[in-house]
Amino acid sequence: MLKRHGMVRLTFLFNNDNKITEIPIIRIRPNKAQPRKQFDEASLTSLSQSITENGILQPLTVRRASQSEYELIAGERRLRASVMAGLKKVPCIIVKCSDKESAIFALLENLQRSDLGVFEEARGISRLIRRFGLTQEEAAQRLGKTQSTIANKLRLLRLTYEEQELIISAGLTERHARALLRIEDEGKRREVLSKVIALNLNTQQTDNLVGEVLNDCPKHIKSMGSSKAVIKDVRIFVNTINKAVDTMRLAGIDAKAVKSENNNYIEYTIKIPKKTASDNKSA
């Protein structure tokens, strides 16, 4: 394995001068280090139809696991789609590599695909570190990432599995997840997550909501709307007060509205003469 300017290059020894070999699917076993656990059925169906019509355009990459079995290194989507297409054999390139290189290559192949889930990526990195006893810095070097990026990815796994599933099913982003991580109390975090999903909050609104829960943001900053919306609501309330005072005046009540404000609040005092109020009550 070679690393140059932050990029990772894996070096494999190929058998038979890169010869493509047809291998029975029944003799290919999955890669234990495969980070992807969820595969889109519609995408697999589309790929299966393409394979039926055009064949497999890119061979799978495998390594020999025993005299009769091969371990898949790259191409699990193609393998699954081939099974759906009813193929018995698939074209493969056989390489020689260590367990570590196989795990890293499987992870790298999926990291290069934009549809790899954020938690699948984090779990893949975590398994790589645990399985081979790597430090975060060593994992970062092998994956061509910074140590801080690896640390941030792994922090996502502090969310419970149920929370991760809710985030995935709701289509929330990594930024949503990282905002929720600021809440250490699991019960409060679940309440906030439910609110984020129910109100379809964006990442900035989620940050604000979490800030309110942690008392990091002023109480008057509302996470569910912009400051313009808040000001608009206040104006509606003020207009309501003014209309109430005007209505009383039209009814012969000498009501007055006195307004005062400072940096913290706006105060309205409604003054109604006692004599007028008692007269109306007796009437």
pLDDT tens, per residue, the chain with 283 residues: 433 334 344 444 444 455 788 999 999 988 776 666 667 788 788 888 988 888 888 888 898 888 889 988 888 888 989 999 999 999 998 888 887 777 777 776 666 554 567 888 888 888 878 877 888 888 888 777 889 999 999 999 999 999 999 998 899 999 999 999 999 999 999 999 999 999 999 999 999 999 999 875 444 444 444 444 344 445 556 666 766 766 676 667 777 777 777 666 677 777 787 765 445 544 4
* 89, two tokens: 């054999």
**CB burial string 230-252: b at 16+ within 10 A, e below:** eeeeeeeeeeeeeeebeebeeee
**pTM (two decimals):** 0.49
How many other β-carbons are positioned within 10 Å of the β-carbon of residue 20?
Answer: 13
Q: How far is 232 from 213, CA to CA, in rounded Å?
A: 24
Distance of CA 1 to the CA centre of its chain: 31
Range 2-145 classified under CATH 3.90.1530.30: yes
Known catalytic residues are 76
Locate the domains of the chain by residue range: 2-145, 159-213, 227-282
* 151, two tokens: 């640390």
